[in-house]
Each structure stands twice: as structure tokens, then as C-alpha cells.
């Protein structure tokens, strides 16, 4: 996974874009009947990728013999299973490496569900977690689909991307080569980059709420709490699709970011240590990848694929969407949400609305409390003066006469700003280098969101920086850009990070990491303001 490059993305606001249709009578043939994705078979693919790296200089980097052998391995497995396989030469990739595109020849060709993972490694190692884990898991998912051969409602396409590690080049080339009419056929793109980290978390891309809800639905059935993915936001191949207006989703287990104490309590593992201790290193071998995250994430992939593409509904069904999908209020204020319903098959049905997961002191009312599918209702979430600060995921349930549907709303409650940060030191930053700037935090109460970071400097490729903010308790917050500069242009770029825990006074740390070749310079006088 290439973490250094941030890709400017189009805003995709598609509440009910999936059109997922499952009636009770058909549930046994769709998502609920998704087969197990064999861990043993995935490990066999990972062993094959390790052997390929061993035989080709220790890596599978794009443009090198190890990558070519990886393409041959994956494409032959798919051809043998009956897929229509295309090897697309990416002329902008290192060594004109090839993307592998495989399509299962069933289902509505005008509605494509696409799954992808980058097949290349960095030159430093074999890349078994990054990203053999994603490549092997979607390969076995594709082979399982072929073996099961269910009735398809939608067309399924898989992509293994070249040269992700040098700037998402393979996926960019693929998307840019598609005519607009072909782009619009791709209803959802799902990306899987690093799903077997040794100190793993369970992260779900939160770019499109309705896509995230599919994965969260599966993880709830096995009792696992997820978090939105911030470390990989815009830094893997889904960014190529998102910037073209295609809804995206995906899974990750973490890379170089540090696991917090709260995350260790939730998922196990070691707080204060990176999610993947061998990220972009020679030790990213089959010894670096545990069974548990690979097994659970691969089964989540199968669940999502079966739910989104398998089977067709003929009975009454509806979709449920929320607009907006998130909001921020101060204690005592209210948030208003439009609840949209759409009849997706059969006759319209009565839908009764309810909400769960509200923070303490908050209430939810619907006007009206029930609708005919196709109509809308207004949800008002009223907080009290005693509602604590923090972020809650509120589940809105539509109880229909034939089926039930859910959608999620993210509510953030926070007090007015009482935190200040000060820092005025210049720090040099060099190629593949890291600088750490201690920042004094003075707080008399709780934090607000977002915190805005302004960095003024003479760094020549500022969009290639990875920036994080580390709190005194060890929590790490990803800092996202709110603007962009061309790679050759100097100037100021604004960043922001949502901080939702209480703001402790003390020393915070701003960590800046340059992960893109060819950059040197000095970052001047960064300041953090609320």
C-alpha cells in the first residue's frame, strides 16, 4: 500500500446507490448463504506468492520479474476457473506492467460490482501482507464464485493492479482508459489492501455509508466492532475509482500507524505498536501474516459479494437512505436527517421507522413515524445539555411488512473549543524521512472537532506527506488535507483531523513523514488551531 500519495477525490453522495435487494424468501440464496472463503486455499496462494518472490530477487515489485510471475499465477488460476481474463498493459506503470482483469460471464452487464487489490510489492520485500493478503483473498473469492456458480443478478469483475506502490498507477490507468459509458456501469468498487496485519484492527472504508453498512452488517454477526479507515484514506486504488465518481468501499487491518490503548482493548494485540511491524520491509513474508484477520476479512468479502451481486428479488422490497449521513452538534442542540425510502421491487409497503444507538440524554423522533416505501420522513435527534461529548453510530431501522432495512447515521457531540496548540519551529524534511515536532497543548475542558492544521513551507511535493497527530495518551489521529498543491508548487496547505476524545493538557506530537521519492525541503512554522 502506498501511504504517501494523497489523491484528490470527487465527492460521492449516493445514499442508496447499491440497490441491494434481498427478500426473506431469497435470503437463503443470497447474502445469508455466502459460502466460506477457504483460509487454507488463501494460504496456498500466499505461499505461491512467497515462492515467486524468493525466486525473483526477494520481491514482486512492478516492472520486475517477480511481478510478471505473479500475474501469470493469478491469471492462469482464473482462466482455469472459467473467467474471461484480460491482461491490460499499463504504459504508465514501471516496466509497462500488466493489470489483470477478470469477469465472471453471468449477471446484468450494465450493473457491475468490482473487487480489486494491488498485486505488486515494494522492492524491499515480498509483500505478503502488502498486498498478497488482498490479492490472494479476492482470488480465492473469485474461484469460490466459480465453483458455487450461483444465479447472478449483477456482473462481477475483479482487478489486480500494477504499480500501486509508485502512485496507484495501474488502477489510474484502468479507470482513465474506460469510456464514460463503461464507468457508469460500475455501481460499486471494493478495495482490499493489507487485510492480514500482525497487530491487526478491523477497518472499513467509510467513503459511502451504504457500502460500509454491508461490511459492518457482517462483522456485527460475528461480534466484531469496526472503525472507519483513516490511515488508508485516499492512498490505495479505491482513490482512482472514487475520483471518477464511482462509489467505493473496502477493508484494511492497518499499516504503519500505531494501535491505541482503546483499540487494543477492543481488538486485542499490542497498544503502542504499529498495526504491521513489517510494513514495507523485507520481513513482510508468510511469517508476518496471522490466520485470524485473513479468515474474518475474506469471509466478509464473500458476504459482501453475495449480498451485492448474487440472486435477484421478485418480491416486495425497498431501500433506506439517510441525508446527510453524519452531523456535529453541541450538547443541547438537535440534528435533522431526511430518511428516504424507495420501492425497489414489488408493491409499495408500509415502513415503520425507529432509531437505536443514541448517546445518553438524546432522543429521536420521526415525522411521520411510518411511511409508504417511496416516501420520506424527517428524523430529529435532540441532545440534552448532559449528552457527553463523543461520536455515536445511530442505526435507523425501517420495519416493512415484507422486509426490514437499516441505515446508519454518525452523530458527533462536542463542546466549544477550549484547546490551543503552539509551535513555531522550522524542521527539515527529506526523502523517505520522518520528523517529529513536539507541540504544547493547553486545555481547560474537552476537545472540539475538527482541529485544523496549517503548514507553511518550501517542500516541493507537499501532497506526498503523511501527517499524524499523536495525543499524550498515545492515540494517533490521521491528518487529512483540505486542499492540494501541484507537485511543483510551493505554498500553504491546510489539514484537518477530527479529535473526539477529551483534550489532555501536555505534549502532543506532530509527525510528518515524506514517503515519495524526489522530495526535499523545509517545513516552516506549522501551527495547529481549533
Catalytic residues: 164
Q: Which three cell numbers stand for residue 386?
A: 448532559
Q: Which three cell numbers stand for residue 429?
A: 524534511
Strands (E), 208-247: 227-228
Closest CA to 139 of 207, 180, 80, 97: 80
Quote the DSSP letter at residue 473. Answer: T
**Look-up: residue for cell 456501469?**
185
CA dihedral 451, 456, 462, 468 (to 10 degrees): -30
10 Å CB burial of residue 422 (0-12, 13-18, 19+) is exposed
* H-run or E-run covering 88: strand 84-89
CB 267 within 8 A of CB 242: no
Q: Mind spelling out the 3-state secondary structure of 19-64?
A: CCCCCHHHHHHCHHHCCCCCHHHHHHHHHHHHHHHHCCCCCCECCC
Distance CA 135, CA 342 (A): 36
Q: Bin 19: left if φ > 0, else alpha if -120 < ψ < 50, else beta.
A: left
Q: CB neighbours (10 Å) of residue 363?
A: 12
Q: How far apart are CA 165 and CA 264, in angstroms?
A: 28
DSSP H helical segments within 286-355, as ranges? 291-309
Q: Report whether 247 contacts 17 (CB < 8 A).
A: yes
Amino acid at each position: 500500500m502506498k501511504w504517501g500519495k494523497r489523491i484528490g477525490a470527487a465527492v460521492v453522495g449516493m445514499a442508496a446507490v447499491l440497490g441491494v435487494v434481498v427478500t426473506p424468501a431469497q435470503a437463503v440464496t443470497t447474502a445469508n448463504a455466502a459460502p466460506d472463503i477457504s483460509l487454507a486455499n488463501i494460504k496456498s496462494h500466499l505461499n505461491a506468492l512467497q515462492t515467486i518472490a524468493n525466486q525473483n530477487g526477494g520481491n514482486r515489485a512492478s516492472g520486475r520479474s517477480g511481478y510478471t510471475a505473479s500475474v501469470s499465477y493469478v491469471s492462469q488460476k482464473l482462466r482455469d476457473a472459467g473467467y474471461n481474463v484480460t491482461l491490460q498493459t499499463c504504459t504508465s506503470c514501471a516496466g509497462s506492467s500488466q493489470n489483470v482483469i477478470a469477469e465472471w460471464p453471468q449477471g446484468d452487464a450494465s450493473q457491475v460490482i468490482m473487487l480489486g487489490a494491488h498485486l505488486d510489492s515494494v522492492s524491499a520485500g515480498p509483500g505478503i501482507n502488502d498486498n498478497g493478503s488482498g490479492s490472494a483473498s479476492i482470488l480465492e473469492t473469485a474461484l469460490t464464485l466459480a465453483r458455487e456458480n450461483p444465479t447472478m443478478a449483477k456482473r462481477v469483475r475483479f482487478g489486480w493492479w500494477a504499480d500501486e506502490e509508485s502512485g496507484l498507477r495501474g488502477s489510474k490507468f484502468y479507470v482513465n482508459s474506460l469510456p464514460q459509458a463503461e464507468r457508469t456501469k460500475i455501481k460499486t468498487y471494493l478495495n482490499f489492501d493489507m487485510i492480514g496485519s500482525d497487530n491487526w484492527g478491523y477497518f472499513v472504508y467509510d467513503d459511502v455509508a451504504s457500502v460500509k453498512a454491508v461490511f459492518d452488517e457482517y462483522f456485527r454477526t460475528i461480534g466484531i466492532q469496526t472503525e472507519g479507515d483513516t490511515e488508508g484514506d485516499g492512498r490505495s486504488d479505491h482513490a482512482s475509482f472514487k475520483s471518477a465518481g464511482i462509489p467505493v468501499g473496502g477493508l484494511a487491518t492497518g499499516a504503519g500507524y500505531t494501535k491505541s490503548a482503546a483499540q487494543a482493548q477492543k481488538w486485542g494485540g499490542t497498544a503502542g505498536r504499529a498495526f504491521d511491524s513489517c510494513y514495507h520491509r523485507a520481513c513482510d513474508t508468510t511469517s508476518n501474516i496471522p490466520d485470524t484477520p485473513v479468515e474474518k476479512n475474506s469471509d466478509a468479502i464473500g458476504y459482501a459479494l453475495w449480498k451485492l451481486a448474487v440472486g435477484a428479488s421478485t418480491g416486495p422490497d425497498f431501500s433506506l437512505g439517510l441525508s446527510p449521513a453524519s452531523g456535529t452538534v453541541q450538547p443541547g442542540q438537535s440534528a435533522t436527517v431526511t430518511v428516504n425510502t424507495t420501492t425497489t421491487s414489488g408493491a409499495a409497503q408500509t415502513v415503520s421507522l425507529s432509531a437505536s444507538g443514541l448517546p445518553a440524554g438524546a432522543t429521536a423522533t420521526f415525522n411521520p413515524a411510518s411511511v409508504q416505501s417511496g416516501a420520506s420522513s424527517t428524523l430529529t435527534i435532540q441532545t440534552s445539555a448532559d449528552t457527553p461529548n463523543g461520536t455515536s453510530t445511530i442505526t435507523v431501522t425501517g420495519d416493512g411488512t415484507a422486509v426490514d432495512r437499516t441505515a446508519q447515521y454518525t452523530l458527533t457531540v462536542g463542546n466549544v473549543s477550549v484547546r490551543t496548540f503552539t509551535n513555531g519551529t522550522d524542521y527539515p524534511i527529506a526523502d523517505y524521512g520522518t520528523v517529529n515536532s513536539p507541540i504544547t497543548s493547553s486545555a481547560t475542558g474537552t476537545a472540539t472537532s475538527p482541529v485544523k492544521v496549517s503548514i507553511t513551507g518550501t517542500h516541493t511535493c507537499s501532497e506526498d506527506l503523511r501527517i499524524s497527530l499523536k495525543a499524550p495518551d498515545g492515540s494517533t489521529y490521521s491528518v487529512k488535507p483540505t486542499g492540494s498543491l501541484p507537485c511543483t508548487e510551493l505554498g500553504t496547505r491546510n489539514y484537518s483531523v477530527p479529535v473526539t476524545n477529551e483534550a489532555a493538557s501536555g505534549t502532543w506530537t506532530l509527525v510528518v513523514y515524506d514517503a515519495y521519492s524526489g522530495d526535499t525541503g523545509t517545513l516552516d512554522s506549522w501551527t495547529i488551531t481549533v
